[in-house]
Chain A
Amino acid sequence: KAGVTQTPRYLIKTRGQQVTLSCSPISGHRSVSWYQQTPGQGLQFLFEYFSETQRNKGNFPGRFSGRQFSNSRSEMNVSTLELGDSALYLCASRYAVNTEAFFGQGTRLTVV
């Protein structure tokens, strides 16, 4: 079956702009989590959605938001981009909360 698909793979944006990233989970998986990965901070949890509801949220400012659609696809949005938002954004899907996570290849965001 198809894996987790993230689009786009690469993105360059200017400070102050906003960006939307997309994640299509594995078919049948209702949980989608988002992570930000940077060399300095490692993998930081952003939020998790399950059946269109945000179930958990990490310690990120309100500029970071997300949503999940009825088909389990998820989007995350970052508004008023800052240079420090440059990172690899990873999406992971799970069948259930206590099961393994399957990751997409990530979206590499560069803010200039």
Chain B
Amino acid sequence: SQQGEEDPQALSIQEGENATMNCSYKTSINNLQWYRQNSGRGLVHLILIRSNEREKHSGRLRVTLDTSKKSSSLLITASRAADTASYFCATLPPNNDMRFGAGTRLTVKP
């Protein structure tokens, strides 16, 4: 069964704008990860944030984690058409395997 839920399900923005996606989950976790998937291909790892971290940056990506609210957000700044993809959060509960949310479909218009 899925652990996380992304919000919104779909997001459409113009190139240059920022995109924010949210993820909520239900159980305690060791870490939370964000992945990108282009058109039914394999997933590509973007960033991992541990349960004792609150914020992490990687290039144009910024991830926050609030374990008290069991939620995370992914911010993509200055978006590009190439950022068009589906984005998934994956949670890693203790003694279990990664569980994925349903994903957010991001469309960046040139």
Chain A contact residues, CB within 8 Å of chain B:
4, 33, 35, 37, 42-45, 48, 55-56, 58-59, 88, 90, 92, 97-106, 108
A42–B41 touching, CB < 8 Å? no
Looking at the assembled complex, report how far the CB atom of B98 sits from the nearest CB atom of chain A, in whole angstroms: 6
| B residues 82-102 touching A (CB-CB < 8 Å) | 88, 90, 92, 96-102
Query: A103-B43, A103-B44 are contacts. A42–B101 as well, Cβ < 8 Å?
Result: yes
Query: A42: nearest residue on chain B (CB-CB)?
Result: B102
Q: A42-B100, A43-B100, A45-B97 are in contact. Are A103 and B33 (CB under 8 A)?
A: no
Contact B43 A90 (CB under 8 A): yes
How near does chain A come to B25, taking the closest CB pair, in angstroms?
14
10 interchain residue pairs of minimum CB distance = A103-B42, A43-B100, A100-B45, A103-B43, A56-B97, A42-B102, A48-B97, A105-B42, A100-B48, A104-B42
In the bound complex, CA of A27 to CA of B1 (Å):
30
Closest Cβ of chain A to B30, distance in Å, is: 6
CA separation between A103 and B43, bound complex, in Å? 6
- Judging by beta carbons under 8 Å apart, are B99 and A102 in contact? no
The listed residue (A101, A102, A105, A106) touching B98 by CB distance below 8 A is A101
Q: Which of A4, A35, A55, A106 contacts B100 (CB 8 A)?
A: A35
